[in-house]
Chains A and B, each alone.
Chain A
Amino acid sequence: MEAAAAERKANGVAGALEQYLTFMLDGEEYGVDILSVREIRGWDSATPVPNAPKHVKGVINLRGTIVPLIDLRERFNLEPLDYGPMTVVIVLNVNTEKGEKTMGIVVDAVSDVYSISPDDMRDPPDLGDSVDTHYIKGLVNVQETMVILLEIDRFLNADRLPTSSDYAAEA
């Protein structure tokens, strides 16, 4: 993370504002790079995929494309919430080793769009093995609220959506 921040500075892009779309998940505010957001839609039924991990809620038809939906609460091991008319699906373009994929994440609600300077971004504290911070790009304070910026390519990447132990093995 530090290396990434240093690289940003070295590239002289420090100070350039990046826009993040934020959403709520179990009372916390998370942000994703707005350039990776394809669309935001309401929850509609999804077709379950046989033997998929619990957080993969199934696939939907996005104008002819089959798009998998991932429940972010379950992905983060949070208490699942019943889906309702307010449940939101954010469709994201994710870069994977096999090219760009389109995936949807199920979140509680969409919150805001912030312009954030990379300089204001703080690396997440080392929380030990208990919490996987590999897919967290950084933390930022916006009007006294902490926003967790997600490294979307990372935590939706890889075919089988890796767990923290994969990253540990990698390191």
Chain B
Amino acid sequence: MSVDMSQFHQVFFEESLEGLDIMEQGLLALEPGSQDLDTIGAIFRAAHSIKGGSGTFGFSEVAEFTHILETLLDEIRDGQRLLTGDAINLFLQSVDCLRAMFDALQTESPLDMESAHALNKQFQAMLNGEAVTVDTGMGSEPVPTPATAADSKGQSGVRGWVVTFKPDLDLLRTGNEPVRMFRELEVFGEVTARCDLSKLPSLGTLTPEECYLSWTLEIVTDEALESIKEVFEWVEDESDLTYAALGDHDSPDQATEVLQPAPAAIEPLDAAPAPALVDDASRTQAAAAVVKANSGKKADTSIRVSTDKIDALINMVGELVITQSMLGTLGESFAMANLHKLQQGLEQLEHNTRELQESVMRIRMLPISFTFNRFPRLVRDMSQAMGKKIELIMDGEGTELDKTVMEKIGDPLVHLVRNSLDHGIEMPQDRLDAGKPETGQIKLNAFHQGGSIVIEISDDGKGLDADAILAKARRNGLVGPDQELSSNQIHELIFEAGLSTAAAVTDVSGRGVGMDVVRKNINELGGGIEIESAKGVGTTMRVRLPLTLAILDGQLVRVGTHTYIFPIINIIESLQVKTEQINQIAGGAEVMRLRDEYIPVVRLYDVFSITADSTRLEDGLVVVLEFDNEKVAIAVDDLLSQQQVVIKSLETNYEKVDGVSGATILGDGTVAMILDVQSLIRMAGVRQSHIQRTISL
């Protein structure tokens, strides 16, 4: 029988990654020394099924690695060992390591076994009862330790092992095959098996799928008990197993597994050596970066949808079919007397269509917890590394967001949270001195507002230092020496590229690093970011995003006989210009003075080579648009309606067009181009100078 297992790989990967999430969340919830058996059990089960699955699919590296992890977990679960802070750290690192392995397997790139081996050694050391210092020094050689008595090889008087193996009735149904296990044992040495047939029922009542037999096995070997147990690892939940040493009946203690509880070295979490952890964090990131580079290779992505959503969809389609057949019947013998029925039917159809559209869109929506779930780990690792005490509060994790948006917002959010952690929250002592509780708070909150989703990242840290930012901005020439700015305008300055790289500001106020990139990424998603900060009280970053990238709120404009669409989110205002507002700069570039700002003017008919009603700017309107803090004034003939439009790709059948981000189909069935503000700004060819820009700030 040959089954192509690779068809199940994707499902297995998804399940395993989910399992890793469960493990990580469980580990983060556990305190050192915790006896929370439910959580430990959940972690164990997740590890167990990853091991089982990877064994089945032939990913032996993963199976081997998980095996040792599972052994340790098992001992903790059975109360033979205390859960130390070190063990939690080690487990968390293993989760990262396994993630990297799965990513490599998914992209069919070679596995990086180095960190797995290093972790493996640490686990081995911990299993052997050593108090391992998890300093993540992957390169450092763990000291080999003498194994515990019963596990060691060549123990005096031990010639081998006696195993009694009483499987549960349904062992065979789980796909386990005793014969195979016995063959595996034969590798270790001579095996004598005695079969107990006493439970075997009469032929008439026998169910061939059930296992009535049990065995006593004698294995003559030098192998350690561990190796023997490994053979039965798969079935230990489904059978009674006892192990005894062969030919050494004098020491029955050793018959059962002897495992010394680890020295109760429960250290406080933040006693972990900080530099090493930082190091580890950066390595994790490096690994993540590699994964990202590889992820382009992934053939197809899938999405897990709750059956509720699918059921709703099926109901909706059912209704649609009924409406359709009703209309069909009506159409077969239509008389004017039935007109109102037709109208009713059409109304029904419209209703069905709208609902159907909504439910189809909902399929792509995932709860934002998919993104939020990475933060407990991030906060834990970073606060440990920096010696800060931080509590993370998450709210609105059930808020749903389009999958594509979610994938793209992850990195900017991580950046914002890191900023809060790094620069916002003070050191515990500083907090106490400032009269605040020692433990800082970071709040993540997601909620719907209008047609958008808002994600707030707030901290009760020291807030932005407006004076320092302003001073820095003046030094950089971003702000003139005599220019007065409101505190809001000063806060906005941290999004400036000029301020982002300056280490001086980072030291004083933080918040500068890469914020320009964060804003750009959010802008690209059609969203925006606001900042609210009070010195000494804390900072709130508010990210506003569209629910989906498939539909946008559009402003229809007319140029000559053509209709174009601007995304409303980019529009600042539309106005009629007066001649005196327009100036020509050398080279013919036009700028418009709007209040105390100069904005480059783009004549749409010009860049698109079409005919407009008039070439005089005063006759038409200009629409002032903003993208990534750059403004542009686009000259159009008229403003038409505002409406939601479905974004269609032009590239599917044609090619990328400059100045156009896509197309849509209007109510009358005609196609209209959706304009790409970013590329129009580029096409304007006039980059506003910093000075011009900051006048407005």
Contacts and interface: CB of A to CB of B under 8 A. Distances in A.
Same assembly: yes
Interface of A: 45-52, 56, 58-61, 64-68, 101-103, 159-160
A61 B610 contact: no
Contact of B609 (A51, A56, A60): A51
Nearest to A64: B665
B671 A51 contact: no
Q: Which 5 A-B pairs have the closest CB atoms?
A: A50-B608, A47-B671, A159-B655, A68-B654, A101-B653
Given A47-B663, A50-B608, A66 B655 contact: no
B659 interface: yes
A103 B653 contact: yes
13 contacts: A46-B671, A48-B610, A49-B654, A50-B658, A50-B659, A50-B660, A51-B658, A51-B659, A60-B671, A61-B665, A61-B671, A65-B652, A66-B653
Contacts of A59: 650, 653-654, 663, 671
Given A47-B670, A61-B669, A64-B648, 8 more contacts: A46-B671, A48-B562, A50-B660, A56-B654, A59-B671, A101-B654, A103-B653, A160-B655
Nearest to A159: B655
A118 to B, nearest CB: 29
B657 interface: yes
B672 interface: yes
Contacts of A51: 607-609, 657-659
Nearest to A98: B651
Interface in B349-370: none
Contacts of A103: 653-654
A56 B653 CA distance: 12
Interface of B: 562, 607-610, 648-650, 652-660, 663, 665, 669-673
Nearest to B607: A50
Contact of B650 (A45, A49, A102, A160): A49
Contacts of A60: 671
A58 B650 CA distance: 11
B657 A102 contact: no
B607 A66 contact: no
Contacts of B610: 48, 50
Nearest to B675: A50
A50 B609 CA distance: 7
Contacts of B673: 47, 49-50
A47 to B, nearest CB: 4
B671 to A, nearest CB: 4
A78 B650 CA distance: 27
Given A47-B670, A50-B659, A51-B658, A66 B609 contact: no
B649 A66 contact: yes
B665 A102 contact: no
Contacts of A68: 653-654
Contacts of A64: 648, 665
A74 B655 CA distance: 19
Nearest to B656: A159
A102 B672 contact: no
Contacts of B649: 66
Contacts of B660: 49-50
A38 to B, nearest CB: 11
A171 B312 CA distance: 57
Contacts of A46: 671
Contacts of A58: 671
B407 to A, nearest CB: 22
A91 B650 CA distance: 16
Contact of A50 (B652, B657, B665): B657
Nearest to A51: B609
A68 B663 CA distance: 12
A61 B670 contact: yes
Contacts of A49: 650, 654, 657, 660, 673
Contacts of A102: 653
Residue of A52, A60, A61 with most partner-chain B CB within 10 A: A61
A160 B652 CA distance: 13
B593 to A, nearest CB: 28
Nearest to A70: B654
B682 to A, nearest CB: 14
A134 B653 CA distance: 22
B670 A66 contact: no
Contact of A45 (B655, B665, B670): B670
Nearest to A160: B655
A102 B649 CA distance: 13
Contacts of B648: 64-66
Contact of B672 (A45, A47, A52, A101): A47
B531 to A, nearest CB: 36
Contacts of A65: 648, 652-653
A123 to B, nearest CB: 31
Contacts of B562: 47-48
Nearest to A94: B653
B8 to A, nearest CB: 27
A68 B653 CA distance: 7
A47 B654 CA distance: 13
Contacts of A56: 654
Nearest to A50: B608
A93 to B, nearest CB: 10
Given A48-B562, A50-B610, A66 B658 contact: no
Nearest to A102: B653
